[in-house]
Chain A
Amino acid sequence: MPKIKYIEHNGKEHDVDVPVGWSVMEGAVKNLIPGIDADCGGACACATCHVHVDPSWTEKIPPKQDMEETMLDFAQELTPTSRLSCQIKVVSELDGLVVRMPKSQH
């Protein structure tokens, strides 16, 4: 199972195994990792699962679709590697992925 490293805003790291086919958001929520709210449960409807993907990984993740792009436009603490974690599907190539959570999702 791919291992994903989630880093909280305060620097606390969580390494968890996330099943292929799940989203990066689900990997956090189902492992009780703080910093991702995901109010809408992964429908790309609320923009409360914002993460900063480690720059070494951005190329390996499929690009944003329109909806994610525009939802993110209005997120706080936006960076060039910002993504909505509900839209990143876990595949075996993402083993070792590192994402950081912003200070707040609202």
Chain B
Amino acid sequence: MAEHFVIIGAGQAAAQAVATLKAEGYSGAITVIGDEPFAPYQRPPLSKAYLSGAMERDRLFLKPDAFYAEAGCELVLGTAVASIDRLQRTIALVGGRVLPYNKLLLATGTRVRRIPVPGETLPGVHYLRGIADVDTLRAAFEKGAKLAVVGGGYIGLEVAAVAVRQGLEVTVFEALERVMARAVSPELSTFYQRVHREAGVRLELNTGVEAFEGEGRVSSVRAGGKSHPADVVLVGIGVVPNVELAKDIGLPCEDGIVVDDCTRTPDPAIFAAGDCTRHTTHNGRLVRLESVQNAIDQAKHAALAMIGRPTSYKEVPWFWSDQYDLKLQIAGLAQAGDVLVLRGDPSARKFAVFHSRNGAVAAVEAVNAAPEYIVGRKLIAEGAKVAPERLADTSVPMKNIAQA
């Protein structure tokens, strides 16, 4: 019988795995199973250009339908997986269909973290993960409406930026003392807080949300001991990895499906890629990453491993966020104890923060500063040592920064 690879999950990692399998000569069948009714699409624009209306739905899809047909790939959409049988090497879909597999890729992604407070299920309280979520949220975006954003992370702030420009009154509630605390350095948080406030967004820091209030639909947010009127609420407090299928069959999971550097689980027929995995990164740290880069690169390695050519995943992580006219680009992973080096002037809306570790560049956060980002990413990959005072010296162009 011809080989059959199954991919559970129909996101960025799945699309990439199909592309790489095809490019590397795999000629067997592929089935991609997704619980949303859509072929793999880009999620990053959801909280940006798709929400604002600048990008229509058709443009979100990663590949045309012909791509899957040509790759010998069947898309089974709008369908969840009920269970996996490792001994028989079969997958049972909700609805009863059973699929055999020779190799299985878990690209199950994440789902939103729900907020455990009263009123969470009131109409008017939204989460943002998929196309359908944005369609409903956007319908509630009326000029003058009061939008309460719960969580000052990437999703919350990107939505706030779109909403305030569309004339909504926006308040962001952040439980911690600064925005994007999990993702960026304090310097960046301070900068983005100022930018959002200047744009007219109200930021309530150190303010956890206690409840959503309203009769029949949300009308206010209880936070910091006060009621704040709200017509629409968006909750963006992070995601949790979809590990249940893996856990049910005894694969090791700890906030993510644990894989080795070649995306392998302990089961020789099962691999995992993307947001759902916990893996060793380029510098040996065990991490779970939520990013397009990780989905793409890990899926490439997974596809190779599935056809018997395992290769070590060593790519430097990178991320981006668009808010207003600002492009934030991050490479590498910051760590407590890093020496922070500012290059450029935040008030010029063009600067970077380098993270130096044992004299080497370990991470860079660049705002409208592509040279810092691109060269920084290269320096991180090479483990290059550059003195902090040199990194800070804008009279030395980034192109020459590594030459002592």
Using a CB–CB cutoff of 8 Å, the interface residues on chain A facing chain B are 22, 26, 29-32, 39-41, 43-47, 66-67, 70-71, 73-74
Contacts and interface: CB of A to CB of B under 8 A. Distances in A.
Nearest to A69: B370
B292 A47 contact: no
B44 interface: yes
A29 B63 CA distance: 7
B374 interface: yes
Contact of B66 (A32, A41, A45): A32
Contacts of B83: none
A45 to B, nearest CB: 4
Interface of B: 42, 44-45, 59, 61-64, 66-67, 70, 292-293, 296, 318, 320, 322, 327, 329, 368-371, 374-375, 399
B374 A74 contact: yes
B45 A41 contact: yes
Given A32-B64, A45-B320, A45-B329, A39 B370 contact: no
Contacts of B399: 73
A100 B370 CA distance: 24
A67 B44 CA distance: 19
Given A39-B296, A45-B329, A74-B375, A32 B67 contact: yes
Given A39-B296, A41-B292, A43-B320, A31 B64 contact: yes
Contact of B327 (A41, A44, A73, A74): A44
A23 to B, nearest CB: 9
A67 B293 CA distance: 20
A46 B370 CA distance: 10
B292 A40 contact: yes
Given A70-B370, A71-B374, A26 B59 contact: yes
A15 B374 CA distance: 32
Contacts of B374: 47, 70-71, 73-74
A24 B123 CA distance: 41
Given A30-B64, A43-B44, A43-B322, A66 B368 contact: yes
Given A41-B44, A46-B318, A73-B399, 8 more contacts: A32-B66, A40-B292, A43-B44, A45-B320, A67-B327, A70-B370, A71-B370, A73-B374
B327 A45 contact: yes
A106 to B, nearest CB: 10
Contacts of A43: 44-45, 320, 322, 327
Contacts of B320: 40, 43, 45
B371 A41 contact: no
A31 B63 CA distance: 8
Contact of B371 (A22, A46, A73): A73
Nearest to B320: A45
A39 B12 CA distance: 10
A26 B42 CA distance: 13
A102 B62 CA distance: 22
Contacts of B329: 45
A30 B66 CA distance: 9
A74 B371 contact: yes
Contacts of A70: 369-371, 374
Nearest to B378: A74
B319 to A, nearest CB: 9
B67 to A, nearest CB: 6
Contacts of B322: 43
Contacts of B63: 29-30, 32
A39 B45 contact: no
Contacts of A40: 44, 292, 320
Given A71-B374, A74-B371, A39 B292 contact: yes
A31 B61 CA distance: 12
Contacts of A22: 59
Contact of B293 (A26, A32, A39, A44): A39
Contacts of B61: 30
A26 B61 CA distance: 10
Contact of B42 (A31, A41, A45): A41
A75 B358 CA distance: 29
Contacts of A71: 370, 374
A43 B328 CA distance: 11
Contacts of B293: 39
